[in-house]
Structure 1
Amino acid sequence: MMGALGRSAVVLLALGVFLLGQADGRAESSSPPVVSRCVLDGMVDAGSSAYLVDCVRRAQEAGHHALLIRLDTPGGELESTRDIVRAFLGSQVPVLVWVGPSGARAGSAGVFITLASHLASMAPGTNIGAAHPVVGLSGQDPEQAGGKEMARKIENDAVAFVEAIARQRGRNVEWAISAVRQSESVPAEKALALHVIEHVAPTQEAFLEWANGRSVTVADTPITLRTAQAQLVDLEPSFSQRVLHVLAQPSVVYLLFMLAGLGIALEVTHPGLFAPGLIGVVCLVLALLASAALPVRTGAIVLLLLGVSLLVAELFVTSGLLGAAGLLLLVLGGVFLVDRFDAGWFVDKPLHLSLSTVLPTALFVAGASVFLAFRAAQARRMPQQAGDAGLVGEQGHVLETVSPSGGAVFVHGERWAAVSSLPIPSGAHVVVRRVEGLTLFVDEVRS
């Protein structure tokens, strides 16, 4: 009897555990899935690359069901693109890319990023493609800038890169290669027909609804997506990532160098102000930080710093030659700031620093330096207004009769001991001729 009761208890306990597990499963399945969302809007650079790589990490650590990337980019730097692709291909969470809204594009570097996703969708009115390598400064074909061999090397490297991504994700390898070799670009509907993407969706929510229940392979493991009615959690870039993204522009780097030079020049000519010097140092640090995220020539930075130094020297020499040489070096440093041919760069919208930015900025800095030099020269020609020498020529009146043996006068708001070669009565007006220690040598001013 007791054995039968024991077996019944075990069966009831097992049934209870089973029903509890089923209830937990239903509760879990009824809870809305959580999908991380990040936005790539603008150039692909060191800042945006660090942001997207961090998005993958944060989505994995949070255990979210997927990571959604809203993409709109004209292209960007190849090494930063490689970092993003590497993170997508090695992600432990499904990565979904939606090119949108309408009017957006996945240009140049955006092709690689889109192909590296587990599932890709585009909004109607968007396009993808035009991934042929160009030179950063002028937008030239690599063959025009570096010769046939260098052009072939860059192109073949880019082709191998895009082909490997397309094969791993099972997308149209032939089109991916043509996007690099022939700069082919297609709209969303044609990209779908060519199996470049998997879906055309007008909104992110529609894309997530379509993706729900589909299977993708993540880290060699098939995963069924749960994205219907997902709760979107926006992952914002950090402050340093935002700053780096803003600074990674040639014109910003050049302006920072110019502001640094002008601030330091003001501090040198007006010591004690502190604010111009502090601003100059901060701008110099930011310029050096931003230059690390761009294909910047070290020689160009040296030219800029030397040009600023010559302008500062002009403030003391006022010869005109140093100022003209400094202006020339500022222009040359700006023109050559971005490397004209760097095999590590791959952009659709060429990174460059145009003369329309360089010349006005250099002229403004040079003009400000000339103005400071002129004011400094004027100040050197003016009589000293402070200290003992500043009292010479000042007028006052006699407080106590002044004679060769002494007396007292009131000059410059102060009482002074005074002597004179001739006696001067009290109340008379006097002028200071020289100062020795705390004694003024004065003469009477006759009306």
Structure 2
Amino acid sequence: MTALVATPPRAAEPSVAPPVVARCELEGVVDSGSGAYLADCVRRAEDLGASALLVRLDTPGGSLDATRVIVRAFLGASVPVLVWVGPSGARAGSAGVFITLASNLAAMAPGTHIGAAHPVAGAGGEDVEDVGGRQQARKVENDTVAFAESIARQRGRNATWAASAVRDSVSVPADTARELRVVEQVASSEATFLDQAQGREVRLANGDTVRLTTAGARQVELTPSLSQRVVHAFAHPSLVYLLFLVAALGLLVELAHPGGIAPGLMGAVALVLALVASSALPVHAGALLLLLLGAGLIVAELFVTSGLLGVAGVVLLGLGGVFLVDRFDPGWFVDRSFRVSWAWLVPTTVLLGGAAAYVVWRSAQTRGMPQRGGDAGLVGEEGTTVVPVSPAGGEVFVHGEHWRATSPAPIRRGAQVVVRRVEGLTLFVDEVKT
């Protein structure tokens, strides 16, 4: 008889946890807030033990100082940094070129572009040489070219193209960027990029070569701090323009009508916010003076009502908005589109122009109406006698106030009277015959 031997249960195979990829994004201008955020993301991804840090990028460029902070963090990272320029329609413009080149692995979505890192100046986007002189232009350009080439060589990318992006404002779409070895992949989504990155080898700052494990990764979102979020939100030319406009109008109205409190308080708060925002942007001091002068002329229109002051004020406000961003600042590399949006500028000037026109129209109407204030405004007003009125005196209630009164004929108490003239604090009245 064969003995039955119990078969021990098979141990369950341990499940393999999916890799973890930390994720952050830079959308909009590269400023001190977004620079600190991306540098912080590198540190947090390292502390998390993530297999990679994925950065979604869509920027017109920005501050060179903030860009250097990001580039230093990417080049010195002990975690692979992956940059995806997307979604379709996004760009890695100007300063965004340096950020993309500094990544270990880069991809672009179809319909995106990268390049145009040549510094521009002035409201019309003139060349630096035309505005600042040949020597200054050469200094700025050579320094930027060296910066771009050093990053490209360290990451094994096309240093020749990186130099041409600065010198000649070259900009290329995603497919061309891959062919030129500016980026490694064209990926329609972040998930596709992570799948394509699976198994690729990249070299970290310490010289170690690691193989990426990113396919099917669980993404951990790294959000910016409140201060980083606020600074980045304020770093927009249209918002700075609006804040300075509110500040100038509020403070000028308070000066014109002391004691209103609300306009002055609103203007002071807007001024503080505008100064915080402008510290993160290249702002023309002359443009701020134009905004202040324009606001002053509009407030003066409230008193003069000539029409000309209001028109001049609106024109100056518009010019202040056009020239607000100083793109000759050598510390900034931005696309020519980085300025106060016409979608903000036109409605603002039209609204203020309409308000000035309304003030002029109402003032013209007021001039044709009888005077309602002061002594002359009391003439013709009707009231009631409080005590009998005679040539010797009396008291009447007119226009919500008690007045001394006199009349050539005695008037009984409670009778209706009409004011004929005013001398000092005494009203000369006649009884209203019914």
For residue 140 of structure 2, what is the aligned residue in structure 1?
154
C-alpha distance in structure 1 between counterparts of 2:94 and 2:17, whole Å: 39
Q: Secondary structure at the match of 1:37?
A: strand
Q: CA deviation at 1:279?
A: 3.7
Q: CA deviation at 1:113?
A: 1.0
Q: 1:414 to 1:311 in 2, by over 3 A?
A: closer
1:227 alignment partner, one of 201, 206, 214: 214
C-alpha distance in structure 1 between counterparts of 2:368 and 2:65, whole Å: 54
Is this contact kept in 1: 2:378–2:399, CA < 8 A? yes
C-alpha distance in structure 2 between counterparts of 1:333 and 1:217, whole Å: 49
Q: CA deviation at 1:157?
A: 1.4
Residue pairs, 1:176-255, within 5 angstroms: 176-222=162-208, 223-255=210-242
Is this contact kept in 1: 2:306–2:360, CA < 8 A? no
For residue 341 of structure 1, what is the aligned residue in structure 2?
328
Q: CA deviation at 1:87?
A: 2.1
Residue pairs, 1:8-27, within 5 angstroms: none
Q: CA deviation at 1:206?
A: 3.2
Q: Secondary structure at the match of 2:334?
A: coil
C-alpha distance in structure 2 between counterparts of 1:181 and 1:351, whole Å: 20
2:246 alignment partner, one of 259, 265, 268: 259
For residue 365 of structure 1, what is the aligned residue in structure 2?
352
Q: CA deviation at 1:142?
A: 2.8
State the TM-score, normalized to the length of structure 2. 0.78
C-alpha distance in structure 2 between counterparts of 1:414 and 1:176, whole Å: 81
For residue 288 of structure 2, what is the aligned residue in structure 1?
301
Is this contact kept in 2: 1:166–1:176, CA < 8 A? yes
Matched, 1:330 2:322: no
Is this contact kept in 2: 1:137–1:341, CA < 8 A? no
What is the percent sequence identity of the aligned residues? 62
Indicate the larger mover: 295-304 or 249-258: 249-258
Q: 1:410 to 1:351 in 2, by over 3 A?
A: closer
C-alpha distance in structure 1 between counterparts of 2:317 and 2:278, whole Å: 16
1:135 alignment partner, one of 121, 124, 142: 121
Q: CA deviation at 1:440?
A: 6.1
2:415 alignment partner, one of 406, 428, 431: 428
C-alpha distance in structure 2 between counterparts of 1:196 and 1:399, whole Å: 93
1:117 partner amino acid: S
Aligned Cα RMSD in Å? Answer: 3.9
Q: 1:415 to 1:124 in 2, by over 3 A?
A: closer
Q: CA deviation at 1:251?
A: 3.6
For residue 284 of structure 1, what is the aligned residue in structure 2?
271
**1:382-430 C-alpha deviation (Å, 9 max, x unpaired):** 64548x9876643233455333556565545677775545322345322
Q: 1:330 to 1:415 in 2, by over 3 A?
A: closer
Is this contact kept in 1: 2:293–2:316, CA < 8 A? yes
Matched, 1:144 2:145: no
1:93 partner amino acid: V
State the TM-score, normalized to the length of structure 1. 0.76
Is this contact kept in 2: 1:97–1:114, CA < 8 A? yes
For residue 390 of structure 2, what is the aligned residue in structure 1?
403
For residue 50 of structure 2, what is the aligned residue in structure 1?
64
Q: Secondary structure at the match of 1:296?
A: coil
For structure 1, the 5+ residue unaligned runs are 1-25
1:443 alignment partner, one of 423, 426, 430: 430
C-alpha distance in structure 2 between counterparts of 1:327 and 1:371, whole Å: 14
Q: CA deviation at 1:369?
A: 4.2
**1:51-97 C-alpha deviation (Å, 9 max, x unpaired):** 32332243334443321011233434433322221221233432111
Q: CA deviation at 1:119?
A: 1.9
C-alpha distance in structure 2 between counterparts of 1:256 and 1:227, whole Å: 44
Q: Secondary structure at the match of 2:46?
A: helix
Q: CA deviation at 1:176?
A: 2.3
Q: 1:339 to 1:408 in 2, by over 3 A?
A: closer
C-alpha distance in structure 2 between counterparts of 1:426 and 1:108, whole Å: 86
Residue pairs, 1:9-158, within 5 angstroms: 30-135=16-121, 137-158=123-144
Q: Secondary structure at the match of 1:295?
A: coil
Q: 1:194 to 1:428 in 2, by over 3 A?
A: closer
Q: CA deviation at 1:276?
A: 4.2
2:148 partner amino acid: V
For residue 16 of structure 1, what is the aligned residue in structure 2?
none
Q: Secondary structure at the match of 1:128?
A: strand
Is this contact kept in 2: 1:109–1:346, CA < 8 A? yes
C-alpha distance in structure 2 between counterparts of 1:181 and 1:316, whole Å: 54
2:158 partner amino acid: N
Q: Secondary structure at the match of 1:82?
A: helix
Q: 1:195 to 1:274 in 2, by over 3 A?
A: same
Q: CA deviation at 1:117?
A: 0.8
Q: Secondary structure at the match of 1:346?
A: strand
**1:187-215 C-alpha deviation (Å, 9 max, x unpaired):** 44444444333344343223323434544
For structure 2, the 5+ residue unaligned runs are 1-12
Q: CA deviation at 1:120?
A: 1.8
Q: 1:445 to 1:103 in 2, by over 3 A?
A: closer
Structure with the larger helix share: 1
Q: CA deviation at 1:254?
A: 2.7
